Structure 1
Amino acid sequence: RTATVVSKSYTTLAEISRESFERVCYRYQSLQKHLQKRIRKLYDDKWKRFIKRSVKNIDYLSCNISDQIIDEISYMFEIVSLEKGAFLFKKGTPCKEIYIVSNGELDIYITNNNKKP
């Protein structure tokens, strides 16, 4: 989520689980395509704009990739927060993610002879 939603008064709303919604979209492919097109056209979020710009600036991700694919990639990113001193990853950990830093600073340690930082 990129926002917090708080009820300002007594509220009644309808809810559908992500799994149920995905089943409907899978069953009706035209609905999924229509929704994706509308969302891309109407949804304007500061965080998603930042991610899209950043993805376009990554050479090996952006070459000959359509805006639709960049949109899809940008929706896959999740916000991660780290406390001061927390490890993002450690040497030897398999590379399974791509990170884009939006704010803050990270130190990168390259060790020799297996010395710990």
Structure 2
Amino acid sequence: MTDYRYDDEPSAADHVVAQLERVNAKVDEMRAKMEQDPDSMGDKILKAALPSVAGLVAGKLFDMAWNRGTAKRFGDVRQESAKGLLLSVAFAALSAAVGAAVATLSTRSSQAIVDRRHRRAHR
């Protein structure tokens, strides 16, 4: 004779189905969020690459200018000397300030480029 379950406990299959429904709802939510995102893959690459490249170029230019300027003004300074230590600290501070400024400006400009592309696309 067949034994049927009449208790109110959910079976293992009910538990698996409930988990799959939760996963399906999460996937649907993520798909809707992705479809509502106006940025294309190119826009996202631009917003990531432009600040990185600008920071790299600005850092190298600042390093070259610093090395030329300190070589002309102070000559060959050893790192072990007090003057070398002060120059290292000054370089670190100025380099961080230049890096922060370039990062902020390039992030804003890349966002402005993407916004302009979106405005032109919706005309």
Q: TM-score, normalised by structure 2?
A: 0.22
Larger Rg: 2
Ranked by relative contact order (alpha carbons within 8 Å, sequence separation 6 or more), the top structure is 2
Higher helix share: 2
